[in-house]
């Protein structure tokens, strides 16, 4: 059973990260858009991505992760897992920051440039690298 849960956890994480990579990219283009038709289109795309894909994927990934920990609580004794869970918490915070940005765009209150969003888009990459290295190498 554990391996089935793990497989679906990985699928949810991949889907979540796809959204975490794509939504800030949409913010880049939204911040650069100059006509109302484009802005309206981006609002729809961002909302559907966040609510329809990213948030359900996050909930499933976290839920399955908790389920795996309940089946194998000995992992909580490992330092690498504490570091990984810290990265997961940071990723959840990033997810909700994306949601706040989405609301700013939806109400036409974005004050940040496309350059900001290009840098903002790099944060989940760092978390992904750290999480994968921790899970695979289990360095401590």
pLDDT band (50, 70, 90) for residue 18? very high
Q: Which residue ranges are tagged as binding site for heme?
A: 9, 84
Look at residue 137 in the predicted model and tell me its pLDDT. Answer: 98
Look at residue 91 in the predicted model and tell me its pLDDT. Answer: 98
Q: What is the reported pTM?
A: 0.95
Look at residue 63 in the predicted model and tell me its pLDDT. Answer: 98
Q: Which residue ranges are tagged as binding site?
A: 9, 84
What 8-state DSSP symbol labels residue 77?
G
Which of 35, 17, 23, 37 is CA-nearest to residue 104?
Answer: 23
Angle between helices 2-32 and 79-106 (to 10 degrees): 40
Look at residue 3 in the predicted model and tell me its pLDDT. Answer: 98
pLDDT tens column, 97-122: 999 999 999 999 999 999 999 999 99
pLDDT tens column, 34-93: 999 999 999 999 999 999 999 999 999 999 999 999 999 999 999 999 999 999 999 999
Q: Are 80 and 120 in contact (CB under 8 A)?
A: no
Look at residue 139 in the predicted model and tell me its pLDDT. Answer: 96
Terminal-residue alpha carbon distance, the chain: 27
């Amino acid at each position: 059973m554990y391996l089935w849960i793990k497989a679906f956890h990985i699928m949810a994480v991949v889907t979540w990260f796809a959204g975490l990579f794509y939504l800030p990219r949409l913010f880049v283009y939204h911040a650069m858009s100059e006509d109302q038709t484009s802005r309206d289109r981006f609002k729809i795309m961002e909302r559907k991505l966040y609510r329809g894909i990213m948030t359900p994927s996050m909930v499933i990934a976290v839920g399955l992760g908790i389920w795996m920990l309940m089946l194998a609580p000995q992992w909580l004794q490992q330092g690498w897992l504490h570091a990984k869970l810290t990265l997961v918490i940071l990723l959840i915070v990033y997810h909700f920051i994306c949601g706040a940005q989405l609301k700013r765009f939806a109400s036409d209150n974005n004050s940040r440039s496309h350059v900001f969003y290009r840098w903002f888009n790099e944060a989940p990459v760092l978390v992904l690298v750290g999480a994968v290295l921790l899970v695979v190498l289990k360095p401590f």
